[in-house]
Structure 1
């Protein structure tokens, strides 16, 4: 099993990994620190090479294909073990070289020009609304929720997120609002229900656009809210407020200047933007090769240093910054439980390989937020330093006022 065995000796520093190879021989790799005890069976000897040269991609593919399985332990146990030992894997000489090469190719990996961006979005979001209904909240929000309490349901936590973002926008009657990457519409529909605004949501997903417009019509908001199948870069009108939730991860580092320059162009002089995005607390890197190939082509979650550089170059003030650290781990755990509860339905819609792919995605993503370097940030941007109050108390005060308004208007979690 060499050279894979050599790398695994260096890799497993916390917990224990027992590998049963294709010939039935057991190899034990134990760390000096406590952690999960995982037994993994490999049925294909070619995995010795592919796991050595590209462990993240090869492990995901092997699990999808059934060439990797677990005995007396689970995929969650393995991905936890992998996540807590990630730094030691990255320090292995071959992996350090491959990471440098991958960083050098980022421009090609994250290319999202107009046209290709829509193809990348369609790969993930246009696989069917009915599939997403099986594990998302009833409003179908596909981004980090906000858990005011550990006892919050997924629906309550997603509603909390809408309220939190609204409290940072400082909405006023008659304002024009843009939602970049509007998904299935709940963000901008919530804003239209709590404020007298005109709103536009743009998405590159045909499935999302269709359903979002149906929801606007059902709520009686079609006269004030519309959703368009359109790239934000094609817009020319100006807006008082811009919000973007879970879209920035699809922009790509080499498009950041283009993104923030367009935001600057679209905002009125006293306009405000709230950007909700995944990021990470480690230096700039690359997206997981497995995630990039099977789940989110062209996607990347940035280091904050990469975001600030482009913001500074495009004359925007960062007027507020907040980090949601474990909230996405909790969100993903809810999604994974709902996915497993509906696994038979997913298998009937697609196939077993698809189910295993999504299991690998949901659990590995949770681990990135629970034990890895991923986080979610809220970045409030403006052209003017005093576009929003200079004391932060207004955010909490506005949330309390919105709770009272929601009760008055009968607005409850979807």
Structure 2
């Protein structure tokens, strides 16, 4: 075997056990034989060369198109094996050049005064709601769960996440709450029922808006919970006691961080509190993974804390608390991927095999990013006054106990009918 891909993998795979079968049926064993075996097979020579030339994009594409097949192990196992072995000396000048070009293009795109928010959101979130219902929990939480204590179920971990966020918001009855990026309505409904607050949720997804409104109406919350198709940039001049944003900030783009936090400052009451929950990385990357950018989340960017905090400061907002959740999203993504794969036939009834493999790769690659690339979740508590938030964290535990008691008597969530 003398293809460019074989030469590349020989440089990379020092540990582990990888069986590589090329399009002619020739087999090569790579690694030291340790650990669980992984076996891949290629259907054509062009697929091998494509990956060798541009693995960041073409690995996902060749898997998605069925031209790279897993014969032992799954796609996460293969990605983790490669990532655990990857060394900088395996990079070619072509890979480095492509990476630099993508960074430059991403930085320019994110700073252009063109608002593609609605188009980018629709690309992902306006997929059929039936798809998300197959692998999310019963409350349709499409963001990192909080596995505290460790080993709890996905359903319990998502409840723990909502409880933890609600506690940090220091809610009181009748407060006006804004949720930026309201998803399918689960967080807004939880806050309204648990704390008696009035919630306005905004989204750019027509499908999320539809499902949210149906869910709120079925629970009798239409009077105190409302959802709108609204870009945060153009929010009307109204003050909110509390603002929460979960899993939305990754879509803002580094060029708009100033706009985002200036808008937060405009609509947050002087004694208000915001909780921002988002994915972070240990240092700037300047661009999104090209497969994720092209097929999953166009226009998205995962920042480092060092890229976020200056924008908060420039908006004259105060950071009151920062918490990092290191591996909780890896656990969440594994649950989602296992549930997604287990219901493959139902996915194929909505979309096709290519779509299924695309999303399996997305879920596996995202999980691998948290287990092998040090991505994490951060929760930043923001205020305008240093006296709005207590000077110790005991209140969080106390509030969580109160919300746990509420959950014990909360009516079950109704399934959404399609």
Question: Residues 18 and 109 from structure 1, CA distance in 2 versus in 1: closer, same or farther, beyond 3 angstroms?
Answer: farther
- Gaps (5+ residues) in structure 2? none
Shift of the alpha carbon at 1:411?
5.2
**Residues 404 and 72 of structure 1: CA distance in aligned 2, closer, same or farther (over 3 Å):** closer
Write the mapping of 1:122-137 to structure 2, written as runs, cut at 5 A.
122-137=122-137
The change in CA–CA distance for 1:87 and 1:319 in structure 2 (over 3 A counts) is farther
What secondary structure is seen at the aligned counterpart in 1 of 2:39? strand
1:223, 1:151 → 2: CA distance?
37
Aligned residue for 1:162?
162
Aligned partners of 2:107 and 2:287 also within 8 Å: no
Paired with 2:116 and 2:211, the residues of 1 have a C-alpha distance of 23
Contact map agreement 1:36 1:80 (CA 8 A) in 2 = no
Instruction: Provide the C-alpha distance between the structure 1 equivalents of 2:362 and 2:319, rounded to a whole number of angstroms.
Output: 32
Q: For structure 1, which runs of at least 5 residues remain unmatched after alignment?
A: none
Q: Is the 8 A contact 1:286 1:300 kept in 2?
A: yes
Query: Displacement, 1:341?
Result: 2.0
CA distance in 2, matches of 1:337, 1:46: 31
Does the CA contact (< 8 Å) of 1:155 and 1:413 recur in 2? no
Provide the C-alpha distance between the structure 2 equivalents of 1:72 and 1:134, rounded to a whole number of angstroms: 25
In structure 1, how many angstroms separate the alpha carbons of the residues matched to 2:15 and 2:287?
Answer: 24
Aligned length: 412
Deviations 1:216-249 (A, max 9, x none): 1121111111000111111021211100000001
The yes-or-no answer on 1:339 pairing with 2:340 is yes
79-88 vs 136-145, which deviates more? 79-88
Question: How far apart in 1 are the matches of 2:97 and 2:12?
Answer: 16
Q: Deviation digits for residues 258-317 of structure 1, max 9, x if unmatched?
A: 111111111111111100101112343321111111111111111111111222222221
Shift of 1:97: 3.4
2:255 equivalent to 1:254: yes
Deviations 1:109-151 (A, max 9, x none): 5469675211111111111111111110111110011112344
Counterpart residue number, 2:391: 390
1:373-405 deviations in Å (ceiling 9; x for gaps): 211111111111222101111111111122223
Q: Give the aligned partner of residue 360 of structure 1.
A: 361
Aligned to 2:59: 59
Contact 1:110–1:299 (CA<8 Å) still a contact in 2? no
Aligned 8 A contact 1:35 1:81 in 2:
no
In the superposition, relative to structure 1, how do residues 125 and 74 fare at CA in structure 2: closer, same or farther (>3 Å)? same
Quote the residue 2:303 is aligned against: 302
Supply the RMSD in Å over aligned alpha carbons.
2.2
Relative to structure 1, is the Cα distance of residues 164 and 114 closer, same or farther in structure 2, using a 3 angstrom cutoff?
Answer: farther
TM-score, normalization: structure 2?
A: 0.92
For 1:96, the equivalent position in structure 2 comes to 96
Distance apart, 1:92 and its partner CA: 4.8
Which whole-Å deviations, capped at 9, do the CAs of 1:29-72 have from their partners, x for residues lacking one? 426x9555322211221233321221021111111111101223
Q: Report SS of the residue matched to 1:171.
A: coil
Question: CA 1:111/1:120 → structure 2, altered by over 3 Å: closer, same or farther?
Answer: farther
After the TM superposition, which of the residue ranges 305-314 and 180-189 deviates more from structure 2?
Answer: 305-314
In structure 2, relative to structure 1, the CA distance for the partners of 1:241 and 1:113 (3 Å cut) is farther
What is residue 186 of structure 1 aligned with on the other side? Answer: 186
Structure 1 contact 15–35 (Cα < 8 Å) conserved: yes
Shift in Å, 1:98: 2.8
- SS at 1:134's partner residue? helix
* Structure-2 change in CA distance of 1:82 and 1:309 (3 Å): farther
Match of 1:14, SS state, is coil
Describe the SS at the equivalent of 1:318: strand
Written as runs of structure 1 = structure 2, the 5 A alignment for 1:141-152 is: 141-152=141-152
Residues of 2 paired with 1:90 and 1:386: CA distance?
53
| Aligned match of 1:40 | 40
Give distance in 1, aligned partners of 2:137 and 2:112: 29
Residues 232-251 of structure 1: pairs in structure 2 closer than 5 A: 232-236=232-236, 237-251=238-252
2:135–2:339 contact (8 Å) kept in structure 1: yes
- 8 Å Cα contact 1:10/1:88 also seen in 2: no
Aligned residue runs from structure 1 range 212-361, under 5 A: 212-236=212-236, 237-361=238-362
Moved more, 326-335 or 72-81: 72-81
Partner in structure 2 of residue 118 of structure 1: 118
In the TM superposition, residue 90 of structure 1 has moved relative to its aligned partner by 7.4
